[in-house]
Amino acid sequence: MKERAFITLTNGFKDKLFRLAKRLLVSNEEAEDATQEVLLKLWRNKGKMAEYKNVEAFAMTMTKNYCFDKLKAKETANLKIVHSNYKDERPSLQRELEAKDSLDWVGRIMNDLPEQQRMIIQLRDIEQYDNAEIAKMLKINETAVRVALSRGRKKIREELIKKHNYGVV
């Protein structure tokens, strides 16, 4: 496969990879790196590309795995310098300042969800993949996708209702 053909092919889903990576890693730079890494890996294995039934889904899975590895590495690196005594006991204050408008607030709620739910909402509500596709990408079954989806959405609703009732922002 020629370079140009590869780039046109991946441009179709490159942004989706980026958004998934950003959802998981939060940082813009790290998400950019993850996207590059995944696409480069794909390019290096371009010989096998014909074997993949769905390159896009495959790339999404790769992105997920890459991000999980990154998160795990971060977790172990953080363990060494964690000082629980120094933890700020008032995260809400920080959040108040950070969540400038209500859309940011939704993002914040979403990023507080467990990774699985976060990913599934990202893939379903933002990227609009159907459950079967998501199940394949994440290597879980469709029922699990639906359950996680429902839980995640309900959690977001709950937080939004809280916010509306107390007017936290």
Closest CB 97 distance from another protein, rounded Å: 18
Establish if 141 lies at the interface with another protein (CB under 8 A). Answer: no
Single out the segment in contact with another protein by CB under 8 A; choices: 56-64, 70-78, 79-87, 161-169.
161-169
For another protein, the closer of residues 32 and 115 by Cβ is: 32
Establish if 91 lies at the interface with another protein (CB under 8 A). Answer: no
Closest CB 82 distance from another protein, rounded Å: 31
DSSP states of the chain? --HHHHHHHHHTTHHHHHHHHHHHH--HHHHHHHHHHHHHHHHHTGGGGGG-S-HHHHHHHHHHHHHHHHHHHHHHHHHTT--GGG--S-HHHHHHHH--SHHHHHHHHHHTS-HHHHHHHIIIIIT---HHHHHHHHTS-HHHHHHHHHHHHHHHHHHHHHHHHHT--
Residue of the chain from 49, 55, 57, 106 that contacts another protein (CB under 8 A): 106
* Chain positions contacting another protein, by CB under 8 A: 3, 6-7, 10, 14-15, 17-19, 22, 31-32, 35-36, 39-40, 43-44, 102-103, 105-107, 110, 122, 124-128, 130, 146-147, 149-150, 153-154, 156-157, 160-161, 163-164
